[in-house]
Amino acid sequence: MKLKDTILGVAALSAMMAASTASAEKITIGLSAEPTSLDPHFHNLGPNNAMSVHIFDRLIQQDEKQRLTPKLALSWKPVDDLTWEFKLRQGIKFHDGTDFNADDVVCTFKRAPDVPNSPASFGTYIKGKTVVKIDDYTVHFKTATPYPLMGNDVSTIPIISDSVGCGGTTAEFNAGKAAIGTGPFKFVSYRPGESIVMTRNEEYWDKKPIWSEVEFRPIKSGPSRVAALLAGDVDMISGVPTTDIETLSKNSDLQLSQGVSNRVIYLHMDQFREDSPHIRAIGGGKIKNPLLDIRVRKAISMAISRDAIVDRVMEGVAIKAGQLLPDGFFGISSKLKPVEYDPKGAKALLTEAGYGDGFEMTIHGPNDRYINDAKIAEAIGQMLNRVGIKASVETMPRSVYFSRASKGGEGGSPEFSFFLVGWGAGSGESSSPLKSLVHTYDKSKGFGAANRGRHSDAAIDATIEEALRTVDDAKRQELLAKATEMAIEGLAVIPTHFQVNTWAAKKGIRYIARTDEYTLATGVVKD
Amino acid sequence: MTVFVIRRLMQAAVVVFVMSIIVFFGVNVIGDPVYMLVSPDADQADIQAAIERLGLDRPIYEQYFRFLDGARQGDLGKSFIFGEPALQLILHHMPATLELAFTALFLAVFLGIPLGLYAGLFPDRAASKAVMAGSILGFSLPTFWVGLMLIMLFAVLLGWLPSTGRGDTVNVLGFETSLLTLDGLSHVMLPALNLALLKISLAIRLTRAGVREAMGQDYVKFARAKGISTRRIIGVHVMKNIMIPVVTVMGLEFGSLVAFSVVTESIFAWPGMGKLLIDAILQLDRPIVVAYLMIIVLFFVVINLIVDIIYSILDPRVRLQDKTS
């Protein structure tokens, strides 16, 4: 009897195991950057936002090209100048079985800007908006002035549940208790520094993921991440180091996916000081800041070979930039092309501006923030030397770099004269770089917060501000394109290239590259 | 001995206090954490709000006094990035680092000392020469390179061991440990070996030198003349004499295994304190850096104390008392 039980038990167990291996499709993903929390409102940071997409749906989703598509909201439209109406999808359930309705939306937008100890709050996207419940499946977002970017802002906020999420603490989210969303995956376990495990939401209302279980493993060191993929410990990795791309692309067991990102790498130039701290006459004497002269800025742009940066420094994995966002994004100009490399023309222009003999300048850049950032700065330094500008290059860790770049100078002004930075347009359209990088630094209006060169042009400011009041998409597109053209022609900044991101997966699976640099399990498809 | 221990602990308190000043003011010189934290989209008002929330708008001495006040109650500040108490975060990552360090120490002692003994007793054999040559390599190869090579060899080419990460854990007395599961052990092997390589070499060289010296001494000759077996001479008399330097060095090295396994933990994506520290440094998470260094100071003091106590057991001539000068 006993023996029979055992045999039956073993048989049942092996049948179960066979069944589970047949239907279980687990995927393990090695991540280059780790989220700091599973509380979706704790830290407004790329890796956190990417992770929260799995568990928490948004009202509006940004697709792989950051175009807005309906998710929990069926539709959104302005009903008057100051009000946007969102119609919510019905019949959606949270992971704990409760229904999704307008109360969840209202409480989400109340909690999101106000999480205790949050290092970077979502308040940036929520301030100035009042959320009002009209009925169970209709909410109104009200603003004090006409606001066209409502959809973009709302698409950044993960919706949590009124019953367990809104009163939840960050610790409760990390423990899984409050991590209840409507998303394609459910929380299983979170071990900081080790792994995040999720299982498929079998009742998911939208397209169900093909993976029954997904495990994310943070492996920050690039070579180790590649080795983990080669060893078969992970099925896919994000952030393939550019130096490994060539070798990996020849490996027949692997498959690479590449896609341009929303991140432009550009140069900021001191345009607000007569006496710029890192610019000297040849030999070290004082000199009036040459970068105030648009001809000098233009000459510098012409002296930079974007082809060389893309082909040599980035090993082909980047796209030349002529404006602030790559093709396909809302609000770009169709007229602007990357500036052609023309050292002779640059030299002539410098001579015309009275700097035929050149000047001395220090180029600053980070060395651990963007792909190959220090190498790019060095390449640009050499190119400038070729047209007579005696440029030296100084790079440093981002922890030191960004505080000096923002306020290291006299009286809390930006310190550097000529420096390399990058900008990722989180909203997926061009008002994001325009208002932060190009608009005049204006504390009271909250514009130009990252305008570290302090370029200032009243006409551009007016165009940007008008665009930000224009709800009509076609008109706004036109205004943003115009502002972009004015900024590029006025040499507010010099864009060099757009970053291209690379994912690598074992044969048979492939990642649909995203412009927002997110790594999502839902984007991993089988061939 | 009690007096000795108490006095030692009081000295430790002073060291920790002085350290707190140096570390706190030291990390506050570098960069501005606000720019590492806020979203790039943040406008000027958001940035200002973040500065005030972190208390960075206050003068530095005021920040320090606030820190001291918290420290008195066991609160070493909240991590800027995780929003959790720094002490709790570090303690949470400690078991992973400790199991790595203990495994490495185990390898160093149980591989290094026997190999060193062998090389010391039979210095002319080819095997001894090979051991000594190997120990030179162990000293001179950089850890990050060896780590990557170990991964390439054992994980990628041979496929015997997992490349990175920590394996399954079980809960023992409230601590998560991976040393008691097969999967956990397979994960700990490579990083522990990488971490231990230098320590093994050190143990080999120290033991060999000790044995070579001891074997020529009078007490060994006398014991031989008395007809004591070689095994007893080496196992009891020689070993006891050569262990003192080995214990001292291994004790201190254990401290550095725990405190500064940063490189190994980064390469093997090991979720220990070292990785926490290096991430905190890169992102200017000041409370974690300060709390970490305070804990490490305390740790070294305790290790030194334990080394002194083991001394007195190995060598009864050593008395645990402060030399009054």
Cβ of B35 within 8 Å of Cβ of A402? The answer is yes
ipTM of the complex: 0.85
Give the containing element (helix H, strand E) for B264.
helix B262-267
CB A463 within 8 A of CB A181: no
pLDDT in tens, B3-62: 777 887 788 788 888 888 998 898 888 888 888 888 888 888 888 888 888 888 888 899
A171 touching B (Cβ < 8 Å): yes
Tell me, what's the pLDDT at A349? 94
Residue B193's CB: how many other CB atoms inside 10 A? 20
Interface test with A, best of B164, B261, B268, B283 (most A CBs within 10 A): B164
Cβ of B39 within 8 Å of Cβ of A120? The answer is yes
| Arithmetic mean of pLDDT, A263-272 | 95
Rounded distance between C-alpha atoms, residue A370 and residue A419, angstroms: 13
Amino acid at A505: A
Tell me, what's the pLDDT at A262? 93
A48 touching B (Cβ < 8 Å): no
Residue A112 has pLDDT above 90, yes or no: yes
A35 vs B contacts (CB less than 8 Å): none
Residue A242 has pLDDT above 50, yes or no: yes
Residue B131 has pLDDT above 80, yes or no: yes
pTM of the model: 0.87
Mean pLDDT, rounded, of chain A: 92
Supply the DSSP symbol for A492: S
Tell me, what's the pLDDT at B321? 60
Tell me, what's the pLDDT at B312? 75
Tell me, what's the pLDDT at A13? 47
Rounded distance between C-alpha atoms, residue A15 and residue A405, angstroms: 63
Which tokens belong to B139?
Answer: 């000293």
Rounded distance between C-alpha atoms, residue A28 and residue B28, angstroms: 39
Residue A322 has pLDDT above 70, yes or no: yes
A37 touching B (Cβ < 8 Å): yes
Helix, strand, coil in percent for chain A, rounding step 5:
35, 25, 40
Cβ of A426 within 8 Å of Cβ of B40? The answer is yes
Among the ranges given (A169-183, A343-357, A370-384, B217-231), the one the predictor scored with the smallest mean pLDDT: B217-231
Q: How confident is the model at residue A134 (pLDDT cuts 50, 70, 90)?
A: very high
DSSP A161-197: -TTTTTT--HHHHHTTSS---SSSEEEEEEETTTEEE
A119 vs B contacts (CB less than 8 Å): 37-38, 50, 80-81, 83
Nearest to B282 among A191, A397, A406 (CB): A397
End-to-end CA separation in angstroms for chain B: 18
Tell me, what's the pLDDT at B213? 87
CB A497 within 8 A of CB A310: yes
A 100-119 residues with CB below 8 A of B?
116-119
Cβ of A224 within 8 Å of Cβ of B162? The answer is no
A67 touching B (Cβ < 8 Å): no
From residue A422, alpha-carbon distances to A339, A392, B72 in Å are: 18, 20, 43
Interface test with A, best of B39, B57, B82, B276 (most A CBs within 10 A): B39
Strands A360-366 and A279-280: antiparallel
Q: How confident is the model at residue A30 (pLDDT cuts 50, 70, 90)?
A: very high
Residue A11 has pLDDT above 60, yes or no: no
Residue A17 has pLDDT above 90, yes or no: no
Beta strand extents in A20-126 (DSSP E only): 26-31, 60-62, 68-70, 73-80, 83-88
pLDDT in tens, A155-203: 999 999 999 999 999 999 999 999 999 999 999 999 998 999 999 999 9
Rounded distance between C-alpha atoms, residue B292 and residue A172, angstroms: 25
Closest C-alpha to A150, from A232, A235, A225, A84: A84
Among the ranges given (A234-238, A343-347, B275-279), the one the predictor scored with the smallest mean pLDDT: B275-279
Tell me, what's the pLDDT at B223? 87
Closest C-alpha to B290, from B32, B24, B9: B24
Helices (H) and strands (E) in chain A, counts: 16, 20
Nearest to B78 among A117, A223, A436 (CB): A117
A191 vs B contacts (CB less than 8 Å): 271
pLDDT in tens, A57-75: 999 999 999 999 999 999 9
DSSP A252-283: TTEEEEEEEEEEEEEEEE--S-SS-TTEE-TT
Rounded distance between C-alpha atoms, residue A120 and residue A375, angstroms: 30
Residue A497 has pLDDT above 90, yes or no: yes
Residue of B nearest to A116 (CA): B83
Rounded distance between C-alpha atoms, residue A354 and residue A137, angstroms: 66
Among the ranges given (A11-15, A18-22, A28-32, A331-335), the one the predictor scored with the smallest mean pLDDT: A18-22
| Arithmetic mean of pLDDT, A370-381 | 95
CB A76 within 8 A of CB A60: yes
Which tokens belong to A32?
Answer: 């280059």
| Chain A nearest C-alpha distance from B250 (Å) | 29
Tell me, what's the pLDDT at B294? 87
